[in-house]
Structure 1
Amino acid sequence: MAIKKQFLKSKPVCKVTFTVPAEEAKNVAVVGSFNEWDVEATPLKKLKNGSFKGTVDLETGNSYEFRYLIDGSYTNEVEADSLAWNDYAGAENSVLSL
């Protein structure tokens, strides 16, 4: 898994690209505080090489908790900036700091 951050000079926005290698998966999405944890808001697109990829524009100066939803199972990003415990989920979430 990978995260790529591209900070824009013209406005306080960072283009964040999420890439998840999941050749056997049918559906992959990224859910988090930036999309109200909506499982349908940010689906990732399957590429020919079997990985899933998607880009989200996020406001800089904030931290965002998120997880990947791969065929109904949640998983964290190994390259996240940090992890944060979430009592509601009863698990750790990945954290993206911009």
Structure 2
Amino acid sequence: MLKKKFFKTKSEAEVTFEFSRDDIKSVELAGEFNEWHPRKMNYVKKDKVFRTKVRLPKDSTFRFKYLLDGETWENDYKADAYVPNTFGTEDSVVTTRKSA
């Protein structure tokens, strides 16, 4: 799930990425915004969710995916959109526009 926070005085948005599934032990976030280098997401026991925040430029669109347990790629179940990739699957998309 994606949560977005927009700043009036900055040209960026803070995007909170969240992923929850009972059968996994670790989640990493990778996308165009970090050159597809997986970044570990913290597990929040109280909410039973993996979560991380990333600041991204406003009015931009980025592809991303989650890496589960270091071996399986998964899309965000509530991404802004999905687009085909060169591997024959789809990537999740996050858009940093207030209307998205």
Q: Please tell me the TM-score bracket, short chain as reference.
A: 0.7 to 0.9
- Residue in 1 that maps onto 2:59: 61
- Residue in 2 that maps onto 1:91: 89
- Residue in 1 that maps onto 2:31: 32
Select the residue among 40, 45, 55 that pairs with 1:43: 40
Moved more, 53-62 or 17-26: 17-26
Distance 2:72 2:23 in 1: 13
Structure 2 alignment gaps of length 5 or more: none
Distance 2:79 2:23 in 1: 23
Distance 1:8 1:97 in 2: 15
| Number of residue pairs matched by the alignment | 94
- Provide the secondary structure at the position in 2 that maps to 1:5: strand
Structure 1 alignment gaps of length 5 or more: none
RMSD value over aligned CA atoms? 1.2
1:90 shift after superposition: 2.3
- Provide the secondary structure at the position in 1 that maps to 2:33: helix
- Provide the secondary structure at the position in 2 that maps to 1:69: strand
- Residue in 2 that maps onto 1:74: 73
% same residue: 33
TM-score by length of 1: 0.88
Deviations 1:72-91 (A, max 9, x none): 2111112111111111x321
Deviations 1:8-46 (A, max 9, x none): 11111110001111333221011100000002xx21101
